[in-house]
Amino acid sequence: DTGVSQNPRHKITKRGQNVTFRCDPISEHNRLYWYRQTLGQGPEFLTYFQNEAQLEKSRLLSDRFSAERPKGSFSTLEIQRTEQGDSAMYLCAAGVSGNTIYFGEGSWLTVV
């Protein structure tokens, strides 16, 4: 158990709909990261947080993507007006600053 929970594990949505994923790390994890992974590729950095502060958002990320960590605990990743190209696994990872990060099991998104 890595102490990082993600839900839902799987989401199928129609193109144009909004989806939200949630990540719950343990309380000691002040750093939280979101990555996107497509088949056969490595995790692609999306954004990360130090407590509730969003430190950086990837320049490759469309404005349709937004992430929050309102109280420095759980985080949400929202995708608005989904497109078929958004189909991927969305990974959350968390840890203590400067230390190892631990991943959740991921949330699969399929846009039809």
Chain residues binding another protein by CB under 8 A are 2, 4, 6, 31, 33, 35, 40-43, 45, 48, 50, 55-56, 91, 93, 97-98, 100-106, 108
Based on CB atoms, which residue is closest to another protein, 50 or 62? 50
Minimum distance of another protein from residue 67's CB (angstroms): 14
Q: How far is the CB of 95 from another protein (least distance, A)?
A: 9
- Evaluate whether 110 touches 41 at the Cβ level (below 8 Å): no
Number of other residues whose CB lies within 10 A of the CB of residue 95: 21
Write down the least CB distance from residue 38 to another protein, Å.
11
| CB hemisphere CA count around 99 (13 angstroms) | 10
Closer CB to another protein, 6 or 82, in the complex: 6
Contact (CB, 8 A) for 60 and 5: no
DSSP-derived 3-state class of residue 35: strand
Smaller CB separation from another protein, 74 or 103: 103
What do you get for the CA distance between the two ends of the chain, in Å? 32
